[in-house]
Amino acid sequence: MGQALLAHRPGLAATYYRAADELLGIPLARLCREGPAHDLDDPAVAQPAILLTSLAALDVLRAHGVQPDAVAGHSLGEYTALVAAGCLAWTDALWLVRLHGELVASFNDRVPGAMAAVVGLERATVARLCAESAAATGQIVEITGDNDPGQTMVSGQARAVARLVRQARTAGAARVVPVPAGGPFHSSLLRGIEAEFTDALRETEFRAPRVPFVSSVTGDRVTTAAGAVAALRSQLTTPVRWTDAVKRLTAAGTNRFVEVGPGLVLGGLIRRIAPGARVHTTGSARQLALTLGALAPATTF
């Protein structure tokens, strides 16, 4: 992650990557570039790596004059969005994400969890299958994300999620994809780490967003520093409302989206939520060059 960004702007190595290594006390820059992949299975490493790469991509966009009219983030992406909105310093965001990953990983060691994406079933059907799997296993599994009108995320304890995956396939789901997230993100199971993470949020300086910020926790705008803190606290145990967030943005006139950071997942979700929207990505050198060509045509990458 981030190779193309560093090749284009070597100065990012000092601005972000070396600074991140010093802040967190782990070789995050090397892990981003080289892996090994199994180290990135740990959310305490994977989440800061994704955030760091997203921040570097945001820096490149801004250096070419590409500035957002509004921002939103899916799950972990809310931290990058808050940095982009001027609400949170990037170093504070990185530290919070590292702590969040450590807390989830520690909890997952004690209570093994899992996640899966269910495609092509009505949300009411997925809810019913969750209840049936919970009753059959004596474990928790619940809906933890509305990614687009046809895709529902579930999280919970490992055996309950495994049964849900089997039952969803039997019920006619178009696809059921286990997600190697390293924990039961956005589920009620994480109430056990809520107090410690809330303390960290309270000790961190937040400012009111300078750019309109739409939270995927509420699916609506957040306009105050306190609201941003509440969103990050709530997202521990609250389902992601990405469909609502994108619809809120489009209702306000947004018709062009840039997915900032590694991957293409959000772009696909946005196209299904808002078929008329133009979507740009930054996950590879070619994608970033195309995005800059479309949004900042006077520049080259």
Inter-residue contact 114 to 184 (CB < 8 Å): yes
Tokens 């992650």, located at residue: 1
Tokens 């300078």, located at residue: 210
> How does DSSP classify residue 249?
H
What gap in Å lies between CA 143 and CA 215, rounded to an integer? 18
DSSP character string of 30-57 = HHHHH--GGGGGSHHHHHHHHHHHHHHH
Query: What's the distance, CA 171 to chain centroid?
Result: 29
Q: Nearest to residue 148, comparing CAs of 217, 75, 240? A: 240
143: Cβ–Cβ under 8 A, 6 or more apart, which residues?
Answer: 123, 126, 127, 130, 152, 153, 154, 239
What gap in Å lies between CA 259 and CA 18, rounded to an integer? 24
Positions annotated as catalytic residues are 75, 186
Q: Nearest to residue 15, comparing CAs of 75, 77, 91? A: 91
What gap in Å lies between CA 80 and CA 88, rounded to an integer? 9
